[in-house]
Structure 1
Amino acid sequence: MPARLGDVFSVAAAIEAGVSPDALRRVAFRSPYPGLRSQAPAPPVDDLRARCAELAPRLRDWQFFSHETALALLEIPTPSLPYRPRVHVSAHRPSREPRIAGVVGHRLQTRATAVSTSSGLPLEHPVRAWRQAGPLWALDDLVAAADALVSGEHPNASLDDLREEVAAMGDVRGGILTESLRLARVGSRSPRETKLRLLLVRAHLPEPEINWTLRDSSGGFVAELDLAYPRWRICPEYDGRVHAQDAKQFEKDADRWDRIRAEGWDHVRVLNHHMRGNGRAAVAKIAEALIRAGWRP
């Protein structure tokens, strides 16, 4: 194959490059989507970016990845396994969306385009993609995605941006987007942190501060706390143990926990098994710490 075709190419592009239709039939190419051929092995089923990259040569100029696909490609958290985002591709009326197996096509209301190609793939604007996920996701997943969109050093959006999109295009499923924005907060760093915060609020515990800076008596920096109750000097922290095999990281974390406790704070570690089911064990650990510190329901 001509090198300029790359690993994935359209049949039309191959013929235009001088490849005969007979050669395309004889060579054992993989066909990831109708009209496309691939010289590379099939990507893992959970590699959404690779699946979208295989589809990209088939997209028309007016078609773009949207809904949960765009959010996943922007590394905004999606529902946890076993849920897997599907490949969604949209077009604005009167243009046509793709209608092929393995792709969910959407023909959207006519709007000024907001598509970005900064990731190398044509993506719907993240604010619009978040609203488009409204019919697909549970409330807490929409809250976690909103938290991620409005947080970080370079946020993708503001809460006002999300509110304006819902006001302009309408809510879905009995107001689930409006409710998720009521629960969303700036500063959250992970979907598990969002879930823990929601568990505490729904259990009628005080709402914790997010990313609270702990300083010593001289004003020196001690630690940035994911969640904090300054009034009661309680620091709940979700520990996903993603670096359980990293001894140096574990040592750094252990020293940090010691510094927090040395300032008179109760550091409450919440592990994966505390979050299982309805999260009752996580709530109980933090409620007990608050009660020890003088809080009363």
Structure 2
Amino acid sequence: MSDVPQIFSVRDAMAHGRSRFALRHVGLRSPHSGIRSSAPPPGRRDLRARAAEYAPRLRKGQFFSHETALALLGAPVPRPPHVVGLHVSAHRPRREPRVPGIHGHRLQTREPTLWHTPEGWPVEDPVRAWRQSASLWEIDDLVAAADFLLTEMRPVIDADDLRAEIEMMGDTRRHALRRALSLSRHGPRSASETHLRLLLVRNGLPEPEISWILRDVAGRFVAELDLAYPLWKVATEYDGRVHAEDLRQFARDADRWDAIRACGWDHVRILSHHMRGGGRRAVQKVRDALRRAGWSG
């Protein structure tokens, strides 16, 4: 079987001369009807491996959609315990799959605007996939995904693209998409940064600048700050590392923090444990820094 891909459809294998007897090889799994795999079973959170096991079964006009498409294109997804499902769609009159473990969707007639992953799998346009995910995600996760689309996605997506999709196809009953779009911003580099920004604003703190460029008195670049309050010279950054896995990188970061403080700024590092319990410690750390700097809120 060395000349056979790890994951393949029975139909393709037989078309290339394999017999059904050979495809009953003891080393092969059948993750879906009509699919054989010699790869180890993927974990529940290994979306890419799960998608790879289904991709050979995609029929003409079918594509990965909803949260699956966003995740495969690199967008942030809800944190555990949420597990991204495998969503596969088709536009009418084509049919969606009806396969155990697959969320099939038959979408209204519409001109497809498919993207493709590096593996060549067809996926829903990310703007459309973002709207589709509104039925699955909480608003903060929709904001984080929108921030990613506005900041990282290429070709460039802007807020008008998201707004036009909502106007054309509609919003949820609670207007989650419009609310998420009103909270989204260009510039965040991670979902954690977005969640921290939303937490601070909801707790009465001023809205910070995003990806703010700090320069010294001579105009030389010092740092790009995740979240910044220039009026009070307070920089807030999320650091999700449990420990310094890369000592050289940690040393560079420490020098960077010193350079920020040398410019007269208060540098507030938020670690993962500060975000527990609703993020009270994170909010308090930033509030204390702002008050030390003269903020009276």
Same fold judged by TM-score > 0.5? yes
Gaps of 5+ in 1: none
Equivalence for 1:219: 219
CA contact (8 A) 1:78 1:141 kept: yes
State the TM-score, normalized to the length of structure 2. 0.96
Q: Unmatched 5+ residue regions in structure 2?
A: none
CA drift of 1:243 comes to 6.3
Contact in 2 for aligned 1:243/1:250 (Cα 8 Å)? no
The residue matched to 1:77 in structure 2 has which SS?
A: coil
More divergent stretch after superposition (192-201 vs 34-43): 34-43
What RMSD over aligned residues (CA atoms) do the two structures have, in Å? 1.5
Instruction: State the distance in 1 between where 2:21 and 2:266 align.
Output: 72
Change (3 A) 1:66 1:153: closer
**Aligned 1:5-16 pairs, distance under 5 A:** 5-16=4-15
Q: Deviations over 1:210-229 (max 9, x none)?
A: 01111111111111111000
Listed as ranges, the matches of 1:136-175 within 5 Å are 136-152=136-152, 154=154, 156-175=156-175
Report if the CA contact (8 A) 1:210-1:225 is conserved: yes
Q: Indicate whether 1:236 and 2:274 are aligned.
A: no
Return the TM-score normalized by structure 1: 0.96
Query: How far did 1:26 drift?
Result: 5.3
What is aligned with 1:60? Answer: 59
Question: Partner residue of 1:262?
Answer: 262
- Equivalent positions of 1:1-297 (< 5 A) are 1=1, 3=3, 5-25=4-24, 27-119=26-118, 120-152=120-152, 154=154, 156-241=156-241, 244-297=244-297
Q: Which amino acid aligns with 2:175?
A: G
After superposition, give the CA deviation of every residue in 1:98-149 in whole Å (9 maximum; x if it has no partner).
1101110000011111112242211100000000000000010000000011
Does the residue aligned with 2:223 lie in a helix, a strand or coil?
A: strand
Q: Which amino acid aligns with 2:42?
A: P
Q: Does the 8 Å CA contact 1:64/1:89 hold for their aligned counterparts?
A: yes
Alpha-carbon separation, structure 1, partners of 2:222 and 2:170: 45
State the Cα distance separating 1:163 from its structure 2 match: 0.7
Label 1:199 to 1:267 Cα distance change in 2 as closer, same or farther (>3 A). Answer: same
Post-superposition offset of 1:171: 0.1
Identity over aligned residues, as a percent? 60
Give the whole-Å Cα distance in 2 for the aligned partners of 1:291 and 1:22.
Answer: 75
